Amino acid sequence: MPLTQISLRSGKPAAYRQAICDGLYRAMRETFNVPENDQFMTITEFDAANFRFNASYLNVARSDDLVIIQITANDTRTIDQKKALFRRIVELLGDNPGIRPDDVFINIVEVKKENWSFGFGLAQYA
């Protein structure tokens, strides 16, 4: 059950933002064993003054089209699954909406399964 938060500069059209969500969901389904209909994502847009990043940290040439993706997920995936997820996200977002690989920043936050409640105040995985 990933919870995905996407941050980017404001001004992109709705189709661009939808393509990011679609690509992320497809990548997670293909590499992270995410079940069908398990899609929980938010997009937050920022003006230039509130979206700060280093354009060359670790020799990556980032532009103003940088997309920061943070995925909170159960701590059940292998390193190989994480690497596959990173690669697949970059591939899919490169295809549509056309984001350069240098502009895709991904972070995974792992949590224990019992730390989720999907509604009704229940810990469905506990």
The pLDDT tens digits for 74-125 are 999 999 999 999 999 999 999 999 999 999 999 999 999 999 999 999 999 8
DSSP tag of 32: S
What pLDDT is stored for residue 1 in this prediction? 78
Using CA atoms, how far residue 123 sits from 31, 94, 96, in Å, is: 25, 37, 36
- Catalytic residue ranges: 2
Strands of the sheet with 104-111, listed across from one edge = 41-46, 3-9, 67-74, 104-111
**Which CATH code, of 3.40.50.170, 3.30.429.10, 3.30.460.10, 3.30.70.1230, is assigned to 3-115?**
3.30.429.10
Output the pTM of the full model: 0.95
* Cα–chain center distance at 33: 15
Instruction: Output the pLDDT for position 68.
Output: 98
